Structure 1
Amino acid sequence: MRYKHFGNADVDVSELAVGTWAIGGDNYGPVDREASIEAIRRMIDNGVNLVDTAPCYGNGYSEKVVGEALAGGYRDKVLVSSKVGLVTSVNGYDRDSSFKNIMREVESSLYNLKTDHIDFYFVHWPDMNTPFAETMSALELLRKQGKIRFIGVSNFTIEMIKECQKYGKVDVQQPPFSMVDRQYVDLMKWGCERGIDSMTYGSMGAGILSGKYRATPDFPEGDTRLTFYDYFREPKFSKVQGLLKVMDAVAENHGVPVSQVALNWSCQKGYVGTSLVGVRSVAHADENCAAFEWELADDEIEQLDSELDRLGL
């Protein structure tokens, strides 16, 4: 496993992290609880030292699975990341980063995770009905109390982060980023220059960069891979298929799965701190971690970047 040093947080983090949105079972395909626990532990055994979750992933289910997976000494081996401010409601999700809600949610997350502190605590989405001063005061209080170690923001703009920094220290951020989603590169570079390192989500493009989907999949209505992402809809789906042909050639050259090409492409970017990747089985965990036993050559990265530009991805 390879590691990067996070500036503001001053910790070393594995370039691959466990993402647990899918194992929350929230419109992301079938999930096996025991297989998920085994997969998380295998990732840790392979050197991964960050597990990311959130209370809204299955209305607490994902956090509980993570808490169970980290029993038996595994908690001491990892940094735990969770989030606040996206509350399940009859409308789907409501944003609430108020002082009162943050204090309520952190206790629930600590209980679910079976831990006395959360290492990285993110505001999941900006809540424009709550002043950032109020949100940051709550987070800084939790830091002072020892319930969280580092403050993060997810899906925030540069301007929003600057406003937050007037009232406290932002340590990390969590934007979407992958070969099929490069819209926040400037944000990530800006953060990297200031020690606000990025944990990127959607790192495998909801699975499309694994090479598994060569024809339009028949996902059930409401599946997150269709509602949150656009990779499986035209015209992007056909563009991604063109990219996969180039990735196939690179993968064949190294004798590895296409997924490992996607992981290395992302993690070899200097402005990427770590890539959050979902995992559902031990075999999947081993395949993902094996990506860090080799690296893409500079000319291969240039070739892939050129193809992305040509395709307009």
Structure 2
Amino acid sequence: MRYKSFGNYGWDISCLSIGSWTLGGKEWGAIEKKDAIDTVHALVENGVNHLDTALSYSAGDCERIVGECIKGIRDKLYITTKCGTMNIYGNIFIRCGSRDFIFKCCEESLRNLGIDYIDNYMIHWPDQNTPIEETMDALNELKQQGKIGHISVSNFTKEEILEAEKYGKIEAVQMCYNMCDRSNEEFLKWAHSRGMGTMTYSSLASGVLTGQYRSLPNFAPDDARVAFFPYFREPMFSKVMKLLKELDVIAEKRGAALAQIAVNWNTQRDFVDTSLCGSRNTREANENCGGFDWTLTDEEMKTINKAIETYLDC
């Protein structure tokens, strides 16, 4: 495993982070609890030291499963979870930054995870109906109470971060970033240049960059891979298939998995500290971590970037 200094946290964070949304058993298809536990333990054994989750994933079930997964290994992991959103019964999504709601989210997350302290607490999405001052005041109070260690944000714009920083310190950001979606690249560079920790989500583009899918799959309409992300919808899917053919050449020469190429491409960017990757079994966990035994050459990076610009117009 490779590590980077994470913003001003004082953490040496693993370049691969555990993205736990896939473990929730709803939006990504069913998974057995034992498989989830074994997967997280395999990742930790490979040197991964950061796990990301959220109260809204699978209507709270994801956090509860994570709570089972981290029993006995809590001291080996930095835990990030997210507040300000809640998914009720899997079909009602609430986005709220009010003081009472932030406190409710925190108490529920602590209970779900079976911990008494959240290392990194993240506002999941901005709430346009609540003054950010109110949200930040609540987070600052939770920090003073010793229930959270650091305050961070996900899916915020630069302007929203600057407004939030009038009322407290934003220490890290998490944004969507992968070969198929580089729309947040300049934002991540900006955040990194300010000394903020940077995380990427959808780092494997919902699994399409693993090469597992070579024809358009028939996911359920509420599956996150089609409901939330564009990679398994046309015309994006066909464009990605052209990119994969270029990646296949590199993979064959190296004897490597496509997922390892995708993870390396993300984490070799100097403005990315850690990339969240979902794994649903120990094979995927070990394969993803195996990518850190080597790095892409400058020439390979150039080849990939040219293919991205050619086929994905980004």
Q: TM-score, normalised by structure 1?
A: 0.97
The answer on 1:244 being equivalent to 2:244 is yes
Alignment partner, residue 123 of structure 1 = 123
8 A contact 1:55–1:84 mirrored in 2:
yes
1:103 counterpart letter in structure 2 = F
Alignment partner, residue 76 of structure 1 = 75
The 3-state SS of whatever aligns with 2:100 is helix
* Cα distance in structure 2, aligned partners of 1:124 and 1:213: 29
The answer on 1:31 being equivalent to 2:31 is yes
* Cα distance in structure 1, aligned partners of 2:257 and 2:25: 26
The 3-state SS of whatever aligns with 1:175 is strand
8 A contact 1:32–1:280 mirrored in 2:
no
The 3-state SS of whatever aligns with 1:60 is helix
Q: TM-score, normalised by structure 2?
A: 0.97
2:84 counterpart letter in structure 1 = G
1:71 counterpart letter in structure 2 = K
* Cα distance in structure 2, aligned partners of 1:63 and 1:232: 26
1:85-138 deviation line (CA, Å, top 9, x unaligned): 112247621111111111111011111111110011110000011111111111
* Cα distance in structure 1, aligned partners of 2:153 and 2:64: 22
2:12 counterpart letter in structure 1 = D
Correspondence 1:218-297 to 2 at 5 A: 218-297=218-297
Shift of 1:145: 1.3
Give me the identity figure in percent. 44
Alignment partner, residue 88 of structure 1 = 87
8 A contact 1:97–1:135 mirrored in 2:
yes
Shift of 1:229: 0.9
The answer on 1:99 being equivalent to 2:99 is yes
Shift of 1:255: 0.7
Alignment partner, residue 203 of structure 1 = 203
1:142 counterpart letter in structure 2 = L
8 A contact 1:28–1:225 mirrored in 2:
yes
* Cα distance in structure 2, aligned partners of 1:270 and 1:51: 21
8 A contact 1:188–1:197 mirrored in 2:
no
Shift of 1:10: 2.3
Q: Which runs of 5+ in 2 are unaligned?
A: none
1:189-209 deviation line (CA, Å, top 9, x unaligned): 000001112111100000000
1:79 counterpart letter in structure 2 = Y
Alignment partner, residue 7 of structure 2 = 7
The 3-state SS of whatever aligns with 1:107 is helix
Shift of 1:166: 0.7
8 A contact 2:60–2:87 mirrored in 1:
no
* Cα distance in structure 2, aligned partners of 1:259 and 1:42: 17
8 A contact 2:7–2:198 mirrored in 1:
no
1:8 counterpart letter in structure 2 = N
The answer on 1:22 being equivalent to 2:22 is yes
* Cα distance in structure 1, aligned partners of 2:192 and 2:113: 29
8 A contact 1:197–1:271 mirrored in 2:
no
8 A contact 1:50–1:81 mirrored in 2:
yes
8 A contact 1:86–1:95 mirrored in 2:
yes
1:98 counterpart letter in structure 2 = S
The 3-state SS of whatever aligns with 1:59 is helix
Shift of 1:294: 0.3
* Cα distance in structure 1, aligned partners of 2:88 and 2:96: 11
1:78 counterpart letter in structure 2 = L
* Cα distance in structure 1, aligned partners of 2:304 and 2:176: 19
Shift of 1:70: 1.1
Greater alpha carbon shift after TM alignment, 133-142 vs 155-164 = 133-142
Work out the number of aligned pairs and report it.
312
- Over 6 Å off, 4+ runs: none
8 A contact 1:25–1:57 mirrored in 2:
no
2:20 counterpart letter in structure 1 = T
* Cα distance in structure 2, aligned partners of 1:104 and 1:27: 23
2:113 counterpart letter in structure 1 = L
Alignment partner, residue 45 of structure 1 = 45
Shift of 1:69: 1.1
8 A contact 2:17–2:50 mirrored in 1:
yes
* Cα distance in structure 1, aligned partners of 2:56 and 2:265: 29
Q: Which runs of 5+ in 1 are unaligned?
A: none
Alignment partner, residue 174 of structure 1 = 174
